[in-house]
């Protein structure tokens, strides 16, 4: 979603702002802008890409050493130049950039209009600048605190004042803000990738806090003006992790990283001889896990699909009833969370607004809530009682790929650990641990066939509709394959449990609607074969993901992609790889912007 950068220090600010905005492009946006302080306030902004903005800034010859920048993903008002951030008060004294939604902006706007303020944009953000100016009496931080006490909703803010050169104020309520600490320079951002090239020393703002940032000092206060101390934390990930490293897209790089990222997710956690798993982040809550009577997984999008796989794994291995809920639905239900229910919130970014709200709702009902997150230091990681990190490294491509396989790896390990404490014997445990350890190599073998998948993509790229079918633990993979295709190639695709096809979708089958089947050799293989025949009998084209050695399947399919054999419960880690590649190649061949698909945002920090 929107991205924020702010800088004050000894360097020329414009290249820092532009570089940071480019590094945050992956989050998804439709306009961009910067404000620079240099005696006066100078603003350049426009609809479209950061590249356009860069040219405008060059033409306008902006210079200065303090500034803020923004990539906007439109919520209130179209993605126009006028609505792009930064926004100012009508006296051009205050400039700010904002992530989130000001829910009471309409009422505030009416009040401020009565007291003489004029508004130019359709955004919810502009009122905040006016409100700060309204309260300003010489103390910038106090004006910000007073203004924000009246604001309802969510915000990450970076704010400049003409009267306070060399100062940036950052504020947070429900939308992440991180401060980067340099030598004679400091940064504020919504995402540390914005300044990773300059510093790895960071502090995170909590809700209701502001940071008053100058080149040599950062002060933290609450809205009630209590002063806060914070400890510096170190970002550990590598700069290479946020660069393409020779790949044409981040998505392809991340698909190809999966042998490594899946291995990283299990690293140090497998107890090979005992046939079980240990998670450092869950050690203190083992008793709660062992006593759990029911497991609830919460997530959105791809993370929700991972939860669906987790549901099968948890019931199969641990015998514990499990359910999965869309976080966005759960937050508005009156959930019956009886004692003994434990909740896992699954999120790559750790910032998804719906998942955060669902966590708070589950906690309000007294349930222990654990996180399965990728981003260390994220809001979800900090708001959950304990949890497991994916260790998949930064995921930059908007379409989630490596996070999904790491989520499944972690869910498998979790189900195995809970299963070993309940009903899985040591020898079966050892077998499963051994199978899991072989997964990275097996993913590499599938990746080695990617040219074949590229060719298959070529055969299908003109189709406008697709059906993805799978059963059991591969039904969620069918959903995930369909989601990937929709997201990046804009082809309509639906995922279904294979047997459901005859209850409706079968009416759609013809030559123009290819069906992708997941037919790995497992307990439901024969059933899926029957479903394939039902499609073929109606003239449908069939692409099958099958297990190596299954030559027979070629007689039932137009195209076959093989995956190595593994334990049926681990097949999602393999079957999803060809589906990721298929969507990637189709999107590339259709000329789509794979890493920044239209309308999508990497981390959805609004409702």
Least distance in Å: CB of 329 to ligand F6R? 14
Contact yes or no for 79/31 (Cβ under 8 A): yes
Contact yes or no for 319/313 (Cβ under 8 A): no
Let me know if 602 is a catalytic residue.
yes
Site string for ligand F6R, 344-363 (x = CB under 6 A): ---xxx--x--x--------
Of the candidate spans 17-25, 341-349, 362-370, 470-478, the one that interacts with ligand F6R by CB under 6 A turns out to be 341-349
Q: Tokens representing 117?
A: 């303020």
Least distance in Å: CB of 132 to ligand F6R? 31
Per the residue annotation, which of 2, 256, 300, 592 is the catalytic one?
A: 2
Least distance in Å: CB of 401 to ligand F6R? 8
99 vs 303, which CB is nearer to ligand F6R? 303
Residues 285, 456: Cα–Cα separation, whole Å:
47
148 vs 485, which CB is nearer to ligand F6R? 485
Contact yes or no for 158/167 (Cβ under 8 A): no
Least distance in Å: CB of 595 to ligand F6R? 12
Of positions 182, 301, 307, 429, contacts ligand F6R by CB under 6 A: 301
Contact yes or no for 27/601 (Cβ under 8 A): yes
Using CA atoms of 385, 386, 392, 395 in order, give the dihedral in degrees to the nearest 10.
Answer: 10
Taking each continuous run of H as one helix and of E as one strand, the counts in the chain are: 18, 27
Provide φ and ψ at 582, rounded to 5°: -60, -45
8 vs 580, which CB is nearer to ligand F6R? 580
Of positions 133, 190, 199, 303, contacts ligand F6R by CB under 6 A: 303
Total of residues contacting ligand F6R (CB under 6 A): 15
Contact yes or no for 384/377 (Cβ under 8 A): no
Q: Tokens representing 204?
A: 């995170």
Residues 325, 345: Cα–Cα separation, whole Å:
10
65 vs 400, which CB is nearer to ligand F6R? 400
Of the candidate spans 147-155, 241-249, 295-303, 318-326, the one that interacts with ligand F6R by CB under 6 A turns out to be 295-303
Least distance in Å: CB of 347 to ligand F6R? 3
CA 174 and chain centroid, separation: 15
Least distance in Å: CB of 99 to ligand F6R? 15
Of the candidate spans 296-304, 434-442, 510-518, 545-553, the one that interacts with ligand F6R by CB under 6 A turns out to be 296-304
DSSP string, 288-332: HHHH-SEEEEEE-HHHHHHHHHHHHHIIIII---EEEEEHHHHTT
Of positions 341, 575, 603, 605, contacts ligand F6R by CB under 6 A: 603
> 426-447 and 402-420 are packed helices; what angle lies between their axes, rounded to 10 degrees?
170
By CB under 6 A, residue 203 contacts ligand F6R: no
Residue at shortest CB range from ligand F6R = 301
Q: Count the Cβ atoms, other than its own, within 10 Å of residue 75.
A: 17
Least distance in Å: CB of 602 to ligand F6R? 7
Identify the CA nearest to 4 among candidates 149, 169, 115: 169
3-state secondary structure of 479: helix
Residue keyed to tokens 């073998």? 445
180 vs 597, which CB is nearer to ligand F6R? 597
Let me know if 300 is a catalytic residue.
no
161 vs 580, which CB is nearer to ligand F6R? 580
Pick out residues in 440-499 that bind ligand F6R (CB under 6 A): 483, 487
Contact yes or no for 96/68 (Cβ under 8 A): yes
Q: Which residues are bridge partners to 44 per DSSP?
A: 34
CA distances from residue 151 to 107, 141, 441 in whole angstroms, order as listed: 10, 15, 52
142 vs 590, which CB is nearer to ligand F6R? 590
Per the residue annotation, which of 22, 146, 486, 602 is the catalytic one?
A: 602
35 vs 586, which CB is nearer to ligand F6R? 586
Pick out residues in 384-423 that bind ligand F6R (CB under 6 A): 399-400
Cα atoms found within 13 Å of the Cα of residue 249, Cβ hemisphere only: 21
Least distance in Å: CB of 320 to ligand F6R? 23
Q: ω into residue 393 within 30 of 0, thus cis?
A: no
Q: Which residues bind ligand F6R (CB under 6 A)?
A: 300-303, 347-349, 352, 355, 399-400, 483, 487, 603-604
Residues labelled as active-site residues: 2, 602
């Amino acid at each position: 979603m929107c991205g924020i950068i702010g800088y004050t220090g000894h360097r020329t600010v414009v290249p820092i702002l532009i570089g940071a905005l480019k590094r945050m492009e992956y989050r998804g946006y439709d306009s961009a802008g910067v404000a620079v302080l240099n005696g006066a306030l100078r603003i350049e902004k426009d609809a479209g890409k950061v590249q356009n903005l860069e040219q405008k800034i060059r033409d306008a010859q902006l210079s200065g050493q303090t500034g803020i920048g923004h990539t906007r993903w439109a919520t209130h008002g179209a993605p126009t130049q006028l609505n792009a951030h930064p926004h100012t008060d009508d006296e051009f004294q205050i400039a700010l950039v904002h992530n989130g939604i000001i829910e009471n902006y309409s009422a505030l706007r009416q009040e401020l209009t009565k007291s003489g303020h004029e508004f130019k944009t359709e955004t919810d953000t502009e009122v905040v600048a006016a409100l700060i100016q309204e309260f300003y009496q010489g103390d910038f931080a106090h004006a910000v605190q007073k203004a924000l006490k009246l604001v309802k909703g969510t915000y990450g803010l970076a704010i400049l004042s003409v009267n306070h050169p060399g100062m940036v104020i950052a504020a947070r309520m429900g939308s992440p803000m991180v401060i980067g600490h340099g030598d004679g320079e400091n940064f504020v951002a919504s995402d540390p990738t914005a300044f990773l090239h300059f510093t790895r020393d960071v502090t995170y703002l909590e809700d209701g806090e502001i940071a008053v940032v100058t080149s040599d000092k950062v002060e933290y206060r609450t809205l009630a003006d209590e002063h806060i101390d914070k400890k510096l934390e170190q970002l550990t990930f590598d700069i290479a992790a946020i660069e393409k490293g020779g790949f044409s897209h981040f998505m392809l790089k991340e698909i190809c990283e999966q042998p490594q990222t899946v291995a990283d997710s299990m690293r140090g956690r497998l107890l090979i001889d005992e046939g079980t798993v240990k998670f450092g982040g869950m050690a203190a809550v083992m008793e709660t896990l062992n006593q759990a009577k029911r497991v609830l997984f919460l997530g959105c999008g791809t993370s929700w699909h991972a939860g669906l796989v987790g549901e099968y794994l948890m019931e199969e291995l641990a015998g514990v009833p499990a359910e999965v809920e869309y976080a966005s639905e759960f937050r508005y239900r009156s959930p019956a969370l009886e004692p003994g229910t434990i909740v896992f919130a699954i999120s790559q970014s750790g910032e998804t607004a719906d998942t955060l709200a669902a966590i708070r709702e589950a906690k309000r009902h007294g349930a222990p809530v654990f996180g399965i997150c990728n981003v260390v230091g994220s809001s979800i990681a900090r708001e959950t009682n304990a949890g497991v990190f994916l260790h998949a490294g930064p995921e930059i491509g908007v379409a989630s790929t490596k996070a999904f396989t790491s989520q499944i790896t972690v869910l498998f390990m979790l189900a195995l650990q809970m299963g070993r404490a309940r009903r899985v014997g040591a020898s079966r445990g050892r077998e499963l641990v051994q199978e899991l350890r072989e997964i990275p190599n097996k993913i590499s073998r599938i990746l080695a066939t990617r040219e074949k998948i590229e060719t298959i993509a070529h055969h299908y790229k003109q189709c406008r509709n697709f059906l993805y079918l799978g059963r059991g633990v591969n039904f969620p993979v069918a959903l995930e394959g369909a989601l990937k295709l929709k997201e990046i190639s804009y082809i309509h695709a639906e995922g279904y449990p294979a047997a459901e096809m005859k209850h409706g979708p079968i009416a759609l089958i013809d030559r123009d609607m290819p069906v992708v089947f997941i037919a790995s050799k497992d307990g439901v293989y024969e059933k899926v074969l029957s479903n394939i025949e039902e499609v073929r009998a109606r003239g449908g084209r069939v692409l099958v993901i099958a297990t190596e050695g299954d030559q027979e399947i070629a007689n039932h399919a137009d195209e076959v992609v093989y995956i190595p054999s593994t334990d049926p419960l681990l097949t999602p880690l393999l079957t999803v790889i060809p589906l990721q590649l298929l969507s990637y190649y189709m999107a590339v061949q259709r000329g789509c912007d794979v890493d920044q698909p239209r309308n999508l945002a990497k981390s959805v920090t609004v409702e």
